[in-house]
Amino acid sequence: MAAKSLVIVESPTKAKTITKFLGKDFIVRASMGHVRDLPENASEVPAKLKKESWARLGVNVDQNFEPVYVVPKNKKDQVKELQDLLKTSDLLYLATDEDREGESISWHLREVLKPKIPTRRLVFHEITKDAIQNSLEHARDIDEDLVRAQETRRIIDRLFGYEVSPLLWKKMAPGLSAGRVQSVAVRLLVERERARIRFRSAAYWGVKAKLQKPGAEPSFEAELLQIAGKRVATSKDFNPDTGKLDDPNALVLLDQAGAERVVKLLEAGPVSVKSVEQKPFIQRPAAPFVTSSLQMESNSKLRFSAKRTMQVAQQLYENGYITYMRTDSTSLSEEAVRAARSLITAEYGKEYLSPSVRTYETKVKNAQEAHEAIRPAGDKFTSPEVVQASLGQEAFRLYDLIYKRTVACQMADARGTNTTVLVEAGDATLRASGKVIEFAGFLKAYAEESDDENQSDQVRVLPQMAQGDGLKTLKADSLERSTQPPNRFTEGSLIKELEKLGIGRPSTWASIVELVLNRSYAFKKGTALVPTFTAMGVVGLLEQHFANFIDYKYTANLEDDLDAISRGEEQSTVYLKAFYFGDALPGLKDLVQHGEKEIDPRIINGLPLGEWEGKKVEVRIGRYGPFISDGERRASVQDEMPPDELTLDKALEMLETASKEPESLGLHPDLGMPIFLKVGRYGPYVQMGDGRDGAKPKMASLVQGTDLKDVDLVHACKLLALPKTLGTHPETNEPVIAANGRFGPYVQSGSETRSLPANLSPIDVTLEEAMELIRQPKARGRGGMTRQQTSLKDFGINPLNSKGVKLLSGRYGAYITDGEVNATVPRGSDPMTMTPEQAFELLAARAQQILDQGGPEAAKKATKARRATKKAATKTAKKTGKTPVAVPEEVEIEF
């Protein structure tokens, strides 16, 4: 067999697309991402290194920070396949993505495969025939400087996460994590929440009037601006921390009486035009998308999370529809400019074409992640309808955004006139503003505020007016208003702030947001990111003891240092030594050791709310989550309570409620013990006994779907009697038992177990009904139980694939399904408050994950392999009498 060239990319989709552009002399295979990395847990550390003091870090901090790289078990088969293919190849091309991460993957592939044939690096920013051919003609060596920069980032993130996180476990609570960039992002959320907590609302009044020039259309609205020449105070004039005016002498703070006086002036008249000012304006199109602007605009217009945006963009890129999606460059190639300008002339006409080619300067000082903005691929842009037919609705919506933004950036300016009219009534002056778009220009294709191609050329039109014209008041209202706390960050605005501060890079922003949510440091309230009390506590600790490492400027400078390493201007080892051991400032190692000695958990875990009757009331970060304490009483805090809503009064109310003895349902008729109905962290339950006699109270969870109002003494006694024997199996003489277990109610006889359907309760099920269930064959699925899942919520029809989506209760918790794809509800999320959009997004993300892993068939094979492995382990355990012990994994802290 003739030797062929082996081309390695990251994913099967990318491999499939590239194969179309290469001839029979090429074999294209996917590495499935990184083929090796730092050890994820203790079991992956090589045996010869386990006794080293630095082994848990996976980095030899004593020998120039040499990393320990291992091939994970789930990648060994993939590596073996690539090694086998390499034996029959005469040339190896490494065609991973063109950013630092892609360069690093190529380097790791070379180090693992150890090719004895020529090896070249292919770089392209779009997957088209011309781009692939051009990359083959300009193949290069691996850029060692880029690799060192990425490796330095990886080591820094590992050292920070693996040194600081254990400190949080010891001083605060198990399972917490710290990340070099993650913690800085959490700090932004916490500082905004602190501003909301400090915020003091202020009330003020205004006046709005609906006016008309007699004999002219249309009517228009005006708002009160001045009284007797002094500007009327608005929300921007108040200090948010005090609720007082910043400059009370220069402003009029209108009260209700003053507002109603102005209303009477408007109603009584005369009302006339004081002045008219018209100014022409020119609006220029925005630059084509870079990663951050795409994530922000997608979040705003499409309601896609940053993670989902990048998943869909990856799909578009790997199928050859857009250029590489991790970039901070706003430049366009000549080919892209020609394609856009040709399309504008054909679809909109020459008058909508910018007279000259527009160029956009990249604001990022060292844009190096890619060489071009995100745009439709090729020298002729694929129409959005083609993408919709090929990849579906989600891909279409994102591609449509990219397509229109790219086209718009080469279109003519929008032109129009802004008009400001001042109206007077007695000593009151009102202002009305209008806007007329005389030539839509690029707005015909794309507007950042709205994406309506058929928008009117005129908006907020005012009638022709001149100074002295009389006006008629159609309606006047006094309006009570109040200042509002600063808005929380959304995913889009957080990414915008990180970019503004110079923190992170295009390849990391989506990961940062995802990490913050997955680490339970924040939750979503609508689209807003709300930090948890745990996040407040962790940030407080880091600010006190690791101030430099979570300083915004320091973190941004670190990115600059990594850029310098990528250009070969700085040495990685020098930087790592300063980071870990210190130079002018203390290093990470010293700060961790100092924190071990100095951090007092009693102090650091308290978030004060105020004082009451001489007692300090605070939220404390406990081992099992936050709780309120006044030194004597305690009350649990709900997982998703926004910190700014927990006032001192609210905390005292919660303490009072928690300190009350639960109301007894009565005494057990046979045992004479009190029975209580309680609601705990995991839901409602009944409890018999109060523990005062030293005996452990008996508890029983309510059957799912039981209304609390229906729980009386009789019902509680029946629950506490579970499990109960219904009778004897007529064929096996085994007892038939009804119970309410961890995964819901069920009946059992011997080794036969069946879940009870939603219409049968273990309290009321009869022997005959139980026997009918047991005689039914086991359904395939988890545990082999005939489980009729309870539908908890119906999200309606998913517009992306026209399938019905529901929330079901499964054996391992709630999950979302459309009948084909199942998505687990993320830990810490309340599935009952989830919106349809969030449910659709989770399903789409899971579907993409299945595709990335090789499609449904590969997922089935992986599941089958896992089950076979588990079955073999169980057999071995039975033979040897030993139970296999799972090695606990140490979670990777930072990306």
3-state SS of 821-874? Answer: CEEECCCCCCHHHCCHHHHHHHHHHHHHHHHHCCCHHHHHHHHHHHHHHHHHHH
> Pick the residue with more confidence: 510 or 155?
155
Residue 883 or 796, more confident? 796
For residue 808, pLDDT over 60 is answered with yes
- Comparing 619 with 788, the larger pLDDT belongs to 619
Mean local confidence (pLDDT), 574-601:
93
pLDDT tens digits for range 160-217: 999 999 999 999 988 888 988 899 999 999 999 999 999 999 999 999 999 999 988 7
d(Cα 509, Cα 519) in Å, to the nearest integer?
16
Per the prediction, the chain carries an average pLDDT of 86
Q: Is the pLDDT of residue 833 over 90?
A: no
Gap between the Cα atoms of 153 and 139, Å rounded: 26
Domains in the chain (CATH in brackets) are 4-36+71-142 (3.40.50.140), 153-199+487-602 (1.10.460.10), 203-284+417-440+449-482 (2.70.20.10), 291-412 (1.10.290.10), 605-659 (no CATH), 664-720 (no CATH), 724-784 (no CATH), 801-852 (no CATH)
Is 552 designated active site? no
What confidence score (pLDDT) does residue 831 get? Answer: 66
Phi (first) and psi of residue 781, to 5 degrees? 140, -170
Q: Looking at residue 886, what is its pLDDT?
A: 34
830 versus 449: the higher-pLDDT residue is 830
pLDDT surpassing 90 at residue 506: no
pLDDT for 289 beyond 90: yes
Using pLDDT thresholds of 50, 70 and 90, give the confidence band for residue 269: confident
pTM comes to 0.75
- Provide, rounded to the nearest whole percent, the portion of the chain with pLDDT above 90: 59
The packing angle between helices 552-566 and 491-501, to 10°, is 70
Which of 286, 284, 307 lies closest to 492, judged by CA?
307
Three-state SS string over 498-511 comes to HHHHCCCCCCCHHH
Pairwise pLDDT comparison (667 vs 778), residue with the higher score: 667
User: What's the maximum distance between 2 C-alpha atoms anywhere in the chain?
Assistant: 103
pLDDT exceeds cutoff 80 at 434: yes
- Name residues whose C-beta falls within 8 Å of residue 362's C-beta, 6 or more positions apart in sequence: 290, 328, 329, 330, 331
What's the average model confidence in pLDDT over 807-820? Answer: 72
Under the banding of pLDDT at 50, 70 and 90, the label for residue 637 is confident
Residue 785 is classified by DSSP as -
Residues 461, 467, 469, 472, CA torsion sign: positive
Q: Say yes or no to pLDDT of 456 above 60.
A: no
431 pLDDT above the threshold of 90: yes
Mean pLDDT of 592-613: 93
Q: How confident is the model over 87-114, as a mean pLDDT? A: 94
- Using CA atoms, how far apart are residues 539 and 544, in angstroms rounded to an integer? 9
Q: Which of 324, 348, 403, 580 is catalytic?
A: 324
Indicate whether 227 pLDDT > 70.
yes
b/e burial code for range 236-251 (CB count within 10 A of at least 16 → b): ebbebeeeebeeeeeb
- What percentage of the chain has pLDDT greater than the value 70? 88
Residue 812 has a pLDDT of: 52
pLDDT at 797: 79
782 has pLDDT over 70:
no
Give the per-residue pLDDT at 657: 76
**Contacts of 768 by beta carbon, 8 Å cutoff, 6+ apart:** none
pLDDT score of 781: 45
Q: In the block, which residue shows the tokens 């702030």?
A: 497
